[in-house]
Chains A and B, each alone.
Chain A
Protein backbone atom coordinates (compact mmCIF):
# COMPACT_ATOMS: atom_id res chain seq x y z
CA UNK A 1 0.00 0.00 0.00
CA UNK A 2 2.72 2.42 1.00
CA UNK A 3 4.55 1.32 -2.11
CA UNK A 4 1.57 2.22 -4.24
CA UNK A 5 1.23 5.62 -2.57
CA UNK A 6 4.91 6.29 -3.02
CA UNK A 7 4.76 5.20 -6.66
CA UNK A 8 1.79 7.45 -7.24
CA UNK A 9 3.57 10.44 -5.71
CA UNK A 10 6.62 9.79 -7.87
CA UNK A 11 4.41 9.56 -10.94
CA UNK A 12 2.64 12.83 -10.18
CA UNK A 13 5.89 14.61 -9.43
CA UNK A 14 7.76 13.40 -12.48
CA UNK A 15 4.96 14.14 -14.92
CA UNK A 16 4.47 17.63 -13.54
CA UNK A 17 8.17 18.42 -13.47
CA UNK A 18 9.57 16.85 -16.62
CA UNK A 19 9.02 19.85 -18.76
CA UNK A 20 11.89 22.28 -18.85
CA UNK A 21 10.80 25.82 -18.30
CA UNK A 22 10.62 27.82 -15.18
CA UNK A 23 7.42 28.12 -13.18
CA UNK A 24 8.78 31.43 -11.97
CA UNK A 25 8.80 32.71 -15.54
CA UNK A 26 5.23 31.54 -15.97
CA UNK A 27 4.14 33.23 -12.78
CA UNK A 28 5.78 36.55 -13.48
CA UNK A 29 4.86 36.63 -17.14
CA UNK A 30 6.97 37.50 -20.15
CA UNK A 31 7.59 41.07 -19.02
CA UNK A 32 9.61 40.05 -15.99
CA UNK A 33 13.31 40.76 -15.82
CA UNK A 34 15.69 37.80 -15.63
CA UNK A 35 16.75 39.22 -12.29
CA UNK A 36 13.32 38.94 -10.68
CA UNK A 37 12.74 35.51 -12.24
CA UNK A 38 15.95 34.24 -10.66
CA UNK A 39 15.01 35.73 -7.35
CA UNK A 40 11.60 34.06 -7.34
CA UNK A 41 13.12 30.77 -8.44
CA UNK A 42 15.38 30.77 -5.40
CA UNK A 43 12.55 31.90 -3.18
CA UNK A 44 10.39 28.97 -4.32
CA UNK A 45 13.22 26.50 -3.92
CA UNK A 46 13.14 25.71 -7.61
CA UNK A 47 16.90 26.03 -8.01
CA UNK A 48 17.45 22.86 -6.04
CA UNK A 49 17.83 19.52 -7.77
CA UNK A 50 14.65 17.66 -8.71
CA UNK A 51 15.45 14.90 -6.23
CA UNK A 52 15.77 17.50 -3.49
CA UNK A 53 12.51 19.16 -4.54
CA UNK A 54 10.76 15.80 -4.53
CA UNK A 55 12.04 14.96 -1.06
CA UNK A 56 11.02 18.39 0.22
CA UNK A 57 7.53 17.90 -1.21
CA UNK A 58 7.09 14.42 0.24
CA UNK A 59 8.51 15.53 3.57
CA UNK A 60 5.99 18.34 3.64
CA UNK A 61 3.11 16.00 2.72
CA UNK A 62 4.02 13.60 5.52
CA UNK A 63 4.04 16.47 8.00
CA UNK A 64 0.80 17.85 6.65
CA UNK A 65 2.50 20.88 5.13
CA UNK A 66 1.23 21.15 1.58
CA UNK A 67 3.09 24.33 0.74
CA UNK A 68 1.90 27.65 -0.57
CA UNK A 69 0.29 28.32 -3.92
CA UNK A 70 2.55 30.05 -6.47
CA UNK A 71 -0.34 32.11 -7.67
CA UNK A 72 -2.63 33.01 -4.82
CA UNK A 73 0.04 32.77 -2.14
CA UNK A 74 -2.55 31.04 0.02
CA UNK A 75 -1.80 27.94 2.03
CA UNK A 76 -2.73 24.98 -0.19
CA UNK A 77 -3.66 22.95 2.86
CA UNK A 78 -6.39 25.35 3.90
CA UNK A 79 -7.61 25.68 0.31
CA UNK A 80 -7.93 21.92 0.04
CA UNK A 81 -9.66 21.72 3.42
CA UNK A 82 -12.10 24.37 2.21
CA UNK A 83 -12.72 22.44 -1.00
CA UNK A 84 -13.18 19.16 0.87
CA UNK A 85 -15.96 20.70 2.94
CA UNK A 86 -17.90 20.83 -0.33
CA UNK A 87 -16.68 17.73 -2.14
CA UNK A 88 -16.91 15.40 0.86
CA UNK A 89 -20.58 15.99 1.63
CA UNK A 90 -21.36 16.00 -2.09
CA UNK A 91 -19.83 12.56 -2.58
CA UNK A 92 -21.52 11.08 0.50
CA UNK A 93 -24.85 12.62 -0.49
CA UNK A 94 -24.49 11.15 -3.96
CA UNK A 95 -23.60 7.73 -2.53
CA UNK A 96 -26.68 7.74 -0.33
CA UNK A 97 -28.84 8.62 -3.33
CA UNK A 98 -27.12 5.94 -5.39
CA UNK A 99 -27.78 3.32 -2.72
CA UNK A 100 -31.35 4.47 -2.21
CA UNK A 101 -31.95 3.92 -5.91
CA UNK A 102 -29.63 1.00 -6.62
CA UNK A 103 -30.52 -1.36 -3.77
CA UNK A 104 -34.30 -1.57 -4.22
CA UNK A 105 -34.02 -1.49 -8.00
CA UNK A 106 -31.41 -4.24 -8.00
CA UNK A 107 -33.49 -6.38 -5.64
CA UNK A 108 -36.62 -5.94 -7.68
CA UNK A 109 -34.69 -6.69 -10.85
CA UNK A 110 -33.36 -9.95 -9.42
CA UNK A 111 -36.63 -11.12 -7.90
CA UNK A 112 -38.55 -10.29 -11.07
CA UNK A 113 -35.95 -11.74 -13.37
CA UNK A 114 -37.49 -13.22 -16.49
CA UNK A 115 -40.64 -11.16 -16.14
CA UNK A 116 -41.42 -7.98 -18.01
CA UNK A 117 -40.88 -5.72 -15.01
CA UNK A 118 -37.49 -7.31 -14.48
CA UNK A 119 -36.43 -6.63 -18.04
CA UNK A 120 -37.76 -3.09 -17.76
CA UNK A 121 -35.60 -2.46 -14.70
CA UNK A 122 -32.61 -4.00 -16.46
CA UNK A 123 -33.15 -1.80 -19.50
CA UNK A 124 -33.55 1.36 -17.44
CA UNK A 125 -30.37 0.77 -15.50
CA UNK A 126 -28.51 -0.01 -18.71
CA UNK A 127 -29.60 3.32 -20.11
CA UNK A 128 -28.87 5.06 -16.81
CA UNK A 129 -25.31 3.78 -16.92
CA UNK A 130 -24.84 5.35 -20.33
CA UNK A 131 -25.75 8.83 -19.07
CA UNK A 132 -22.72 10.93 -18.16
CA UNK A 133 -23.17 12.89 -14.94
CA UNK A 134 -22.64 16.09 -16.97
CA UNK A 135 -25.70 15.29 -18.99
CA UNK A 136 -27.69 14.34 -15.90
CA UNK A 137 -26.66 17.64 -14.32
CA UNK A 138 -27.53 19.78 -17.31
CA UNK A 139 -30.90 18.09 -17.77
CA UNK A 140 -31.70 18.52 -14.07
CA UNK A 141 -30.84 22.21 -14.36
CA UNK A 142 -33.04 22.64 -17.41
CA UNK A 143 -36.02 20.93 -15.82
CA UNK A 144 -35.80 21.84 -12.13
CA UNK A 145 -34.08 25.20 -12.22
CA UNK A 146 -34.79 26.88 -15.52
CA UNK A 147 -38.32 25.60 -16.05
CA UNK A 148 -39.60 24.94 -12.52
CA UNK A 149 -37.34 27.25 -10.45
CA UNK A 150 -37.13 24.69 -7.66
CA UNK A 151 -33.40 24.80 -7.04
CA UNK A 152 -30.61 27.34 -7.31
CA UNK A 153 -28.60 26.94 -10.49
CA UNK A 154 -25.10 27.07 -9.24
CA UNK A 155 -22.67 28.29 -6.66
CA UNK A 156 -22.39 27.43 -3.02
CA UNK A 157 -23.45 29.69 -0.13
CA UNK A 158 -21.11 28.07 2.41
CA UNK A 159 -21.97 26.04 5.49
CA UNK A 160 -22.91 29.04 7.63
CA UNK A 161 -26.47 28.33 6.57
CA UNK A 162 -26.58 24.52 6.45
CA UNK A 163 -30.04 24.36 4.92
CA UNK A 164 -29.09 26.56 1.99
CA UNK A 165 -25.84 24.67 1.61
CA UNK A 166 -27.65 21.33 1.43
CA UNK A 167 -30.11 22.82 -1.02
CA UNK A 168 -27.22 23.82 -3.26
CA UNK A 169 -25.91 20.27 -3.10
CA UNK A 170 -29.18 18.55 -4.00
CA UNK A 171 -28.97 18.82 -7.76
CA UNK A 172 -25.25 18.04 -8.02
CA UNK A 173 -25.70 15.04 -5.72
CA UNK A 174 -28.59 13.78 -7.83
CA UNK A 175 -26.57 14.20 -11.03
CA UNK A 176 -23.97 11.87 -9.57
CA UNK A 177 -26.37 9.69 -7.60
CA UNK A 178 -28.85 8.88 -10.38
CA UNK A 179 -26.13 7.48 -12.60
CA UNK A 180 -24.54 5.80 -9.60
CA UNK A 181 -27.87 4.20 -8.71
CA UNK A 182 -28.10 2.70 -12.18
CA UNK A 183 -24.61 1.25 -11.87
CA UNK A 184 -25.20 -0.10 -8.37
CA UNK A 185 -28.53 -1.65 -9.31
CA UNK A 186 -26.79 -3.74 -11.94
CA UNK A 187 -24.31 -5.07 -9.42
CA UNK A 188 -26.98 -5.66 -6.78
CA UNK A 189 -29.15 -7.48 -9.28
CA UNK A 190 -26.31 -9.70 -10.49
CA UNK A 191 -25.22 -10.42 -6.94
CA UNK A 192 -28.70 -11.33 -5.69
CA UNK A 193 -29.35 -13.42 -8.80
CA UNK A 194 -26.19 -15.36 -8.12
CA UNK A 195 -27.42 -16.03 -4.60
CA UNK A 196 -30.88 -17.06 -5.80
CA UNK A 197 -29.28 -19.57 -8.14
CA UNK A 198 -26.83 -20.90 -5.62
CA UNK A 199 -27.01 -24.45 -4.37
CA UNK A 200 -26.93 -23.41 -0.75
CA UNK A 201 -30.00 -21.27 -1.18
CA UNK A 202 -31.74 -24.33 -2.56
CA UNK A 203 -30.54 -26.25 0.48
CA UNK A 204 -31.95 -23.55 2.72
CA UNK A 205 -35.28 -23.83 0.92
CA UNK A 206 -35.17 -27.60 1.24
CA UNK A 207 -35.11 -27.02 4.99
CA UNK A 208 -38.43 -25.21 4.74
CA UNK A 209 -37.51 -21.55 4.28
CA UNK A 210 -39.41 -19.38 1.83
CA UNK A 211 -37.40 -17.75 -0.93
CA UNK A 212 -37.39 -14.40 0.83
CA UNK A 213 -36.40 -15.89 4.18
CA UNK A 214 -33.68 -17.99 2.61
CA UNK A 215 -32.35 -14.95 0.83
CA UNK A 216 -32.36 -12.95 4.04
CA UNK A 217 -30.67 -15.63 6.14
CA UNK A 218 -28.24 -17.01 3.60
CA UNK A 219 -28.04 -14.67 0.66
CA UNK A 220 -27.48 -11.21 2.07
CA UNK A 221 -24.13 -11.67 3.66
CA UNK A 222 -22.75 -13.54 0.68
CA UNK A 223 -24.17 -11.00 -1.73
CA UNK A 224 -22.63 -8.23 0.34
CA UNK A 225 -19.10 -9.51 -0.20
CA UNK A 226 -18.82 -8.52 -3.87
CA UNK A 227 -20.99 -5.46 -3.26
CA UNK A 228 -18.60 -4.04 -0.71
CA UNK A 229 -15.89 -4.18 -3.35
CA UNK A 230 -18.09 -2.40 -5.80
CA UNK A 231 -19.07 0.20 -3.24
CA UNK A 232 -15.45 1.05 -2.50
CA UNK A 233 -14.60 1.37 -6.16
CA UNK A 234 -17.73 3.37 -6.84
CA UNK A 235 -16.93 5.74 -3.99
CA UNK A 236 -13.59 6.35 -5.68
CA UNK A 237 -15.29 6.98 -8.99
CA UNK A 238 -17.72 9.37 -7.28
CA UNK A 239 -14.78 11.40 -5.96
CA UNK A 240 -13.54 11.71 -9.51
CA UNK A 241 -17.02 12.25 -10.90
CA UNK A 242 -17.45 15.12 -8.47
CA UNK A 243 -14.72 16.98 -10.35
CA UNK A 244 -16.99 17.19 -13.38
CA UNK A 245 -20.22 17.89 -11.58
CA UNK A 246 -18.68 20.66 -9.50
CA UNK A 247 -17.85 22.36 -12.75
CA UNK A 248 -21.39 22.06 -14.04
CA UNK A 249 -22.75 23.63 -10.86
CA UNK A 250 -19.82 25.94 -10.07
CA UNK A 251 -19.31 24.36 -6.66
CA UNK A 252 -16.04 25.43 -5.01
CA UNK A 253 -14.82 21.88 -4.34
CA UNK A 254 -11.75 19.86 -5.21
CA UNK A 255 -12.73 19.73 -8.85
CA UNK A 256 -12.94 23.44 -9.28
CA UNK A 257 -9.71 23.88 -7.34
CA UNK A 258 -7.96 21.38 -9.60
CA UNK A 259 -9.20 22.91 -12.83
CA UNK A 260 -8.46 26.46 -11.73
CA UNK A 261 -4.93 25.51 -10.81
CA UNK A 262 -4.48 23.73 -14.13
CA UNK A 263 -5.66 26.80 -15.98
CA UNK A 264 -3.41 29.07 -13.89
CA UNK A 265 -0.51 26.64 -14.24
CA UNK A 266 -0.37 26.55 -10.47
CA UNK A 267 1.59 23.32 -10.58
CA UNK A 268 2.21 22.86 -6.89
CA UNK A 269 -1.52 23.01 -6.15
CA UNK A 270 -2.23 20.55 -8.95
CA UNK A 271 0.48 18.31 -7.57
CA UNK A 272 -0.99 18.34 -4.05
CA UNK A 273 -4.61 17.98 -5.07
CA UNK A 274 -3.94 15.25 -7.61
CA UNK A 275 -1.93 13.39 -5.00
CA UNK A 276 -4.79 13.72 -2.54
CA UNK A 277 -7.32 12.32 -5.02
CA UNK A 278 -5.00 9.49 -6.10
CA UNK A 279 -4.28 8.71 -2.44
CA UNK A 280 -7.99 8.62 -1.64
CA UNK A 281 -8.63 6.21 -4.48
CA UNK A 282 -5.76 3.98 -3.40
CA UNK A 283 -6.80 3.97 0.26
CA UNK A 284 -10.36 3.08 -0.77
CA UNK A 285 -8.97 0.16 -2.77
CA UNK A 286 -7.07 -1.00 0.30
CA UNK A 287 -10.14 -0.73 2.51
CA UNK A 288 -12.06 -2.81 0.00
CA UNK A 289 -9.42 -5.54 0.18
CA UNK A 290 -9.48 -5.51 3.97
CA UNK A 291 -13.25 -5.62 4.29
CA UNK A 292 -13.32 -8.50 1.85
CA UNK A 293 -11.21 -10.53 4.23
CA UNK A 294 -13.35 -9.54 7.15
CA UNK A 295 -16.58 -10.69 5.50
CA UNK A 296 -15.46 -13.92 3.91
CA UNK A 297 -14.43 -16.67 6.33
CA UNK A 298 -12.68 -18.49 3.50
CA UNK A 299 -10.11 -15.71 3.31
CA UNK A 300 -9.53 -15.44 7.04
CA UNK A 301 -6.04 -16.41 7.98
CA UNK A 302 -4.82 -16.27 4.40
CA UNK A 303 -2.44 -13.45 3.70
Chain B
Protein backbone atom coordinates (compact mmCIF):
# COMPACT_ATOMS: atom_id res chain seq x y z
CA UNK B 1 0.00 0.00 0.00
CA UNK B 2 2.79 2.40 0.91
CA UNK B 3 4.51 1.74 -2.39
CA UNK B 4 1.48 3.00 -4.24
CA UNK B 5 0.87 5.96 -2.01
CA UNK B 6 4.44 7.14 -2.40
CA UNK B 7 3.85 8.27 -5.96
CA UNK B 8 0.98 10.60 -5.27
CA UNK B 9 2.65 13.49 -3.49
CA UNK B 10 3.62 16.12 -5.97
CA UNK B 11 6.22 18.82 -5.97
CA UNK B 12 5.75 22.25 -7.45
CA UNK B 13 3.92 24.38 -4.96
CA UNK B 14 4.71 21.83 -2.30
CA UNK B 15 8.31 22.97 -2.46
CA UNK B 16 7.21 26.27 -1.07
CA UNK B 17 5.24 24.51 1.62
CA UNK B 18 8.13 22.29 2.63
CA UNK B 19 10.20 25.39 3.05
CA UNK B 20 7.47 26.77 5.26
CA UNK B 21 7.50 23.73 7.52
CA UNK B 22 11.23 23.84 7.90
CA UNK B 23 11.11 27.41 9.08
CA UNK B 24 8.43 26.67 11.63
CA UNK B 25 10.44 23.88 13.18
CA UNK B 26 13.99 25.03 12.77
CA UNK B 27 14.40 26.83 16.06
CA UNK B 28 12.42 24.27 18.03
CA UNK B 29 14.04 21.53 20.03
CA UNK B 30 12.66 18.02 19.91
CA UNK B 31 10.95 18.21 23.28
CA UNK B 32 9.21 21.43 22.40
CA UNK B 33 7.77 19.83 19.31
CA UNK B 34 6.74 16.97 21.54
CA UNK B 35 4.84 19.32 23.81
CA UNK B 36 3.35 21.23 20.91
CA UNK B 37 1.78 18.15 19.34
CA UNK B 38 -1.48 17.59 21.25
CA UNK B 39 -1.45 13.84 20.58
CA UNK B 40 1.98 13.12 21.96
CA UNK B 41 1.45 15.55 24.84
CA UNK B 42 -1.87 14.13 26.06
CA UNK B 43 -0.81 10.56 25.29
CA UNK B 44 2.48 11.00 27.09
CA UNK B 45 0.81 12.44 30.18
CA UNK B 46 -1.74 9.61 30.34
CA UNK B 47 0.91 6.93 29.88
CA UNK B 48 3.02 8.53 32.60
CA UNK B 49 0.00 8.55 34.94
CA UNK B 50 -0.75 4.89 34.27
CA UNK B 51 2.88 3.93 34.79
CA UNK B 52 3.02 5.98 37.97
CA UNK B 53 -0.12 4.36 39.34
CA UNK B 54 1.22 0.90 38.52
CA UNK B 55 4.54 1.63 40.18
CA UNK B 56 2.88 3.14 43.24
CA UNK B 57 0.59 0.16 43.58
CA UNK B 58 3.65 -2.07 43.92
CA UNK B 59 4.21 -0.78 47.45
CA UNK B 60 1.18 1.32 48.31
CA UNK B 61 -2.54 1.34 47.65
CA UNK B 62 -5.18 3.01 49.83
CA UNK B 63 -6.43 -0.44 50.85
CA UNK B 64 -5.21 -3.95 50.23
CA UNK B 65 -6.84 -4.64 46.85
CA UNK B 66 -7.61 -8.19 47.97
CA UNK B 67 -8.87 -7.41 51.49
CA UNK B 68 -12.47 -8.53 51.87
CA UNK B 69 -14.75 -6.42 54.06
CA UNK B 70 -18.33 -7.78 53.86
CA UNK B 71 -19.62 -5.12 56.22
CA UNK B 72 -18.91 -2.44 53.62
CA UNK B 73 -19.79 -4.37 50.46
CA UNK B 74 -21.14 -2.40 47.49
CA UNK B 75 -20.60 0.94 49.16
CA UNK B 76 -20.86 4.01 46.96
CA UNK B 77 -18.06 6.53 46.56
CA UNK B 78 -17.12 8.21 49.81
CA UNK B 79 -14.15 9.78 51.53
CA UNK B 80 -13.22 6.38 52.92
CA UNK B 81 -13.56 4.57 49.64
CA UNK B 82 -12.92 7.09 46.88
CA UNK B 83 -14.68 5.04 44.21
CA UNK B 84 -16.68 2.81 46.53
CA UNK B 85 -16.33 -0.91 47.17
CA UNK B 86 -17.26 -4.05 45.25
CA UNK B 87 -19.47 -6.95 46.25
CA UNK B 88 -16.86 -8.24 48.71
CA UNK B 89 -16.21 -4.83 50.18
CA UNK B 90 -12.89 -4.50 48.38
CA UNK B 91 -11.77 -0.95 47.62
CA UNK B 92 -12.40 -0.24 43.93
CA UNK B 93 -9.77 2.47 43.66
CA UNK B 94 -7.08 0.18 45.06
CA UNK B 95 -8.14 -2.55 42.69
CA UNK B 96 -7.98 -0.20 39.72
CA UNK B 97 -4.43 0.75 40.71
CA UNK B 98 -3.37 -2.86 41.11
CA UNK B 99 -4.96 -3.66 37.76
CA UNK B 100 -2.83 -1.11 35.94
CA UNK B 101 0.15 -3.22 37.06
CA UNK B 102 -1.24 -6.25 35.26
CA UNK B 103 -2.23 -4.29 32.17
CA UNK B 104 1.26 -2.84 31.84
CA UNK B 105 2.92 -6.16 32.65
CA UNK B 106 0.94 -8.08 30.05
CA UNK B 107 1.30 -5.25 27.53
CA UNK B 108 5.04 -4.90 27.97
CA UNK B 109 5.75 -8.63 27.83
CA UNK B 110 3.58 -9.31 24.81
CA UNK B 111 4.91 -6.32 22.87
CA UNK B 112 8.37 -7.59 23.79
CA UNK B 113 7.60 -11.03 22.36
CA UNK B 114 6.14 -9.54 19.21
CA UNK B 115 9.11 -7.24 18.62
CA UNK B 116 11.89 -9.62 19.57
CA UNK B 117 10.65 -12.08 16.98
CA UNK B 118 8.88 -9.79 14.53
CA UNK B 119 11.54 -7.13 13.95
CA UNK B 120 14.47 -9.45 13.14
CA UNK B 121 12.16 -11.59 10.99
CA UNK B 122 10.97 -8.48 9.15
CA UNK B 123 14.55 -7.29 8.59
CA UNK B 124 15.47 -10.73 7.33
CA UNK B 125 12.55 -10.76 4.92
CA UNK B 126 13.56 -7.33 3.62
CA UNK B 127 17.25 -8.15 3.30
CA UNK B 128 16.68 -11.55 1.65
CA UNK B 129 13.70 -11.12 -0.64
CA UNK B 130 14.32 -14.57 -2.14
CA UNK B 131 13.34 -17.93 -0.73
CA UNK B 132 14.10 -17.02 2.88
CA UNK B 133 11.99 -13.89 2.72
CA UNK B 134 9.13 -15.81 1.18
CA UNK B 135 9.22 -18.41 3.93
CA UNK B 136 9.11 -15.69 6.58
CA UNK B 137 6.16 -14.04 4.88
CA UNK B 138 4.26 -17.32 4.55
CA UNK B 139 4.80 -18.02 8.24
CA UNK B 140 3.52 -14.54 9.00
CA UNK B 141 0.46 -15.28 6.84
CA UNK B 142 -0.32 -18.35 8.94
CA UNK B 143 -0.07 -16.35 12.16
CA UNK B 144 -2.42 -13.75 10.68
CA UNK B 145 -5.13 -16.39 10.98
CA UNK B 146 -4.85 -16.20 14.75
CA UNK B 147 -5.94 -12.88 16.24
CA UNK B 148 -5.09 -12.46 19.91
CA UNK B 149 -8.43 -13.69 21.15
CA UNK B 150 -8.46 -16.85 19.09
CA UNK B 151 -4.83 -17.63 19.94
CA UNK B 152 -5.63 -17.17 23.62
CA UNK B 153 -8.60 -19.52 23.41
CA UNK B 154 -6.57 -22.24 21.71
CA UNK B 155 -3.74 -21.87 24.22
CA UNK B 156 -6.16 -21.84 27.12
CA UNK B 157 -7.79 -25.01 25.82
CA UNK B 158 -4.44 -26.74 25.63
CA UNK B 159 -2.66 -25.48 28.73
CA UNK B 160 -5.35 -23.98 30.91
CA UNK B 161 -5.99 -20.25 31.10
CA UNK B 162 -3.37 -18.12 32.85
CA UNK B 163 -1.54 -14.86 32.58
CA UNK B 164 1.15 -16.73 30.64
CA UNK B 165 -1.21 -17.91 27.92
CA UNK B 166 -2.56 -14.36 27.60
CA UNK B 167 0.92 -12.90 27.18
CA UNK B 168 1.91 -15.61 24.72
CA UNK B 169 -1.29 -15.31 22.73
CA UNK B 170 -1.18 -11.52 22.40
CA UNK B 171 2.56 -11.54 21.72
CA UNK B 172 2.36 -14.21 19.03
CA UNK B 173 -0.64 -12.69 17.32
CA UNK B 174 1.22 -9.37 16.87
CA UNK B 175 4.37 -10.94 15.45
CA UNK B 176 3.12 -10.76 11.84
CA UNK B 177 2.19 -7.11 12.28
CA UNK B 178 5.77 -6.29 13.23
CA UNK B 179 7.12 -8.45 10.43
CA UNK B 180 5.08 -6.52 7.87
CA UNK B 181 5.74 -3.08 9.29
CA UNK B 182 9.46 -3.72 9.69
CA UNK B 183 9.78 -5.27 6.27
CA UNK B 184 7.92 -2.61 4.32
CA UNK B 185 9.74 0.23 6.06
CA UNK B 186 13.10 -1.49 5.74
CA UNK B 187 12.48 -2.05 2.03
CA UNK B 188 11.97 1.66 1.49
CA UNK B 189 15.34 2.33 3.13
CA UNK B 190 17.08 -0.54 1.35
CA UNK B 191 15.90 0.76 -2.01
CA UNK B 192 17.11 4.28 -1.30
CA UNK B 193 19.96 6.02 -3.02
CA UNK B 194 22.09 6.28 0.08
CA UNK B 195 21.97 2.57 0.70
CA UNK B 196 22.92 2.02 -2.91
CA UNK B 197 25.84 4.35 -2.30
CA UNK B 198 26.80 2.49 0.87
CA UNK B 199 26.71 -0.76 -1.09
CA UNK B 200 28.79 0.78 -3.83
CA UNK B 201 31.60 1.52 -1.44
CA UNK B 202 31.44 -1.95 -0.02
CA UNK B 203 29.41 -1.93 3.17
CA UNK B 204 28.37 -5.39 4.31
CA UNK B 205 24.63 -6.15 4.57
CA UNK B 206 24.70 -6.31 8.37
CA UNK B 207 26.48 -3.00 8.61
CA UNK B 208 23.90 -1.47 6.29
CA UNK B 209 21.12 -2.80 8.48
CA UNK B 210 22.77 -1.40 11.59
CA UNK B 211 23.88 1.96 10.24
CA UNK B 212 21.08 2.83 7.85
CA UNK B 213 17.99 0.69 8.19
CA UNK B 214 17.55 0.41 11.94
CA UNK B 215 18.04 4.10 12.76
CA UNK B 216 15.69 5.07 9.96
CA UNK B 217 12.83 2.81 10.89
CA UNK B 218 13.24 3.07 14.68
CA UNK B 219 10.67 5.84 15.15
CA UNK B 220 8.10 4.07 13.02
CA UNK B 221 8.59 0.91 15.03
CA UNK B 222 8.32 2.74 18.33
CA UNK B 223 5.11 4.42 17.20
CA UNK B 224 3.80 1.02 16.20
CA UNK B 225 4.80 -0.42 19.57
CA UNK B 226 2.81 2.22 21.36
CA UNK B 227 -0.23 1.58 19.17
CA UNK B 228 0.03 -2.16 19.73
CA UNK B 229 0.42 -1.60 23.44
CA UNK B 230 -3.00 0.03 23.39
CA UNK B 231 -4.38 -3.01 21.58
CA UNK B 232 -2.86 -5.37 24.13
CA UNK B 233 -4.67 -3.51 26.89
CA UNK B 234 -7.92 -4.02 24.98
CA UNK B 235 -7.17 -7.70 24.34
CA UNK B 236 -6.11 -8.36 27.90
CA UNK B 237 -9.27 -6.78 29.27
CA UNK B 238 -11.40 -8.87 26.90
CA UNK B 239 -9.60 -12.09 27.81
CA UNK B 240 -9.83 -11.47 31.53
CA UNK B 241 -13.49 -10.67 31.06
CA UNK B 242 -13.98 -14.03 29.38
CA UNK B 243 -12.15 -15.77 32.21
CA UNK B 244 -9.27 -16.73 29.97
CA UNK B 245 -6.60 -14.73 31.73
CA UNK B 246 -5.98 -13.37 35.18
CA UNK B 247 -8.06 -15.38 37.59
CA UNK B 248 -10.05 -14.07 40.51
CA UNK B 249 -9.48 -12.85 43.13
CA UNK B 250 -6.51 -11.01 41.59
CA UNK B 251 -7.53 -7.59 40.34
CA UNK B 252 -7.56 -6.71 36.68
CA UNK B 253 -9.80 -4.36 34.73
CA UNK B 254 -11.23 -7.29 32.80
CA UNK B 255 -12.08 -9.39 35.87
CA UNK B 256 -13.56 -6.31 37.54
CA UNK B 257 -15.82 -5.88 34.52
CA UNK B 258 -16.76 -9.54 34.66
CA UNK B 259 -17.84 -9.46 38.28
CA UNK B 260 -19.59 -6.13 37.78
CA UNK B 261 -21.92 -7.86 35.33
CA UNK B 262 -24.01 -9.15 38.21
CA UNK B 263 -24.63 -5.65 39.55
CA UNK B 264 -25.56 -3.79 36.37
CA UNK B 265 -28.93 -2.95 37.89
CA UNK B 266 -28.06 -1.84 41.39
CA UNK B 267 -24.50 -0.59 41.10
CA UNK B 268 -23.66 0.55 37.58
CA UNK B 269 -20.63 2.47 38.85
CA UNK B 270 -18.83 -0.85 39.36
CA UNK B 271 -18.90 -1.19 35.58
CA UNK B 272 -18.10 2.43 34.91
CA UNK B 273 -14.82 2.63 36.84
CA UNK B 274 -12.88 -0.18 35.17
CA UNK B 275 -14.39 0.86 31.83
CA UNK B 276 -13.01 4.36 32.26
CA UNK B 277 -9.65 2.97 33.30
CA UNK B 278 -9.42 0.85 30.16
CA UNK B 279 -10.55 3.62 27.83
CA UNK B 280 -8.14 6.14 29.31
CA UNK B 281 -5.20 3.76 29.27
CA UNK B 282 -5.88 2.64 25.69
CA UNK B 283 -6.40 6.23 24.60
CA UNK B 284 -3.09 7.21 26.18
CA UNK B 285 -1.05 4.63 24.33
CA UNK B 286 -2.79 5.15 21.00
CA UNK B 287 -2.47 8.94 21.20
CA UNK B 288 1.19 8.54 22.08
CA UNK B 289 1.68 6.24 19.09
CA UNK B 290 -0.11 8.66 16.74
CA UNK B 291 1.87 11.54 18.15
CA UNK B 292 5.21 9.82 17.64
CA UNK B 293 4.15 9.02 14.08
CA UNK B 294 3.20 12.63 13.41
CA UNK B 295 6.47 13.93 14.86
CA UNK B 296 8.32 11.53 12.59
CA UNK B 297 6.35 12.68 9.55
CA UNK B 298 6.99 16.31 10.40
CA UNK B 299 10.70 15.65 10.71
CA UNK B 300 11.05 13.59 7.57
CA UNK B 301 9.52 16.42 5.54
CA UNK B 302 12.53 18.64 6.19
Contact = CB atoms under 8 A, between A and B. Distances in A.
A and B touch in their complex, CB below 8 angstroms: yes
B238 interface: yes
Interface stretch (A2-10, A105-113, A166-174): A2-10
A135 B159 contact: no
A262 B4 CA distance: 44
A207 interface: no
Contacts of A241: 149
Residue from the set B149, B244, B290 with the largest chain A CB neighbour count within 10 Å = B149
B153 A19 contact: no
B150 A278 contact: yes
A46 to B, nearest CB: 15
A8 B142 contact: yes
Given A130-B230, A259-B242, A141 B157 contact: no
Contacts, number: 145
Interface in A1-38: 3-5, 7-8, 11-12, 15-16, 18-19
Interface stretch (A68-76, A84-92, A279-287): A279-287
Contacts of B4: 225, 296, 298
Interface residues of A, number: 57
Interface in B1-17: 1, 4-5, 8-10
A150 interface: no
Nearest to B274: A135
Contact of B1 (A5, A226, A240): A226
A243 interface: yes
Interface stretch (B79-87, B90-98, B260-268): B260-268
Interface in A271-303: 274, 277-279, 281-282, 285, 296, 298
B167 interface: no
B203 interface: no
B11 to A, nearest CB: 9
A132 B238 contact: yes
Nearest to B159: A19
Interface string A126-137: 110111111100
B8 A282 contact: no
How many chain B residues sit at the interface, stated as a range, is 35 or more
B155 interface: yes
A261 B280 CA distance: 34
Interface string A209-248: 0000000000000000110010000001100110110011
Contacts of A5: 145
B149 A240 contact: yes
Contacts of B55: none
20 contacts: A4-B138, A5-B145, A7-B139, A8-B146, A11-B142, A19-B159, A130-B234, A130-B278, A130-B280, A134-B237, A135-B257, A138-B260, A142-B268, A194-B5, A244-B241, A244-B242, A274-B154, A278-B145, A281-B144, A285-B144
Given A12-B154, A229-B1, A261-B157, 11 more contacts: A4-B138, A16-B158, A19-B158, A130-B234, A134-B257, A240-B149, A243-B149, A244-B242, A247-B242, A278-B146, A279-B145
Interface of A: 3-5, 7-8, 11-12, 15-16, 18-19, 126-127, 129-135, 138-139, 141-142, 146, 194, 197-200, 225-226, 229, 236-237, 240-241, 243-244, 247-248, 258-259, 261-262, 265, 267, 270, 274, 277-279, 281-282, 285, 296, 298
The 8 closest A-B pairs by CB, nearest first: A7-B142, A278-B145, A130-B282, A199-B10, A130-B283, A135-B275, A270-B157, A8-B145
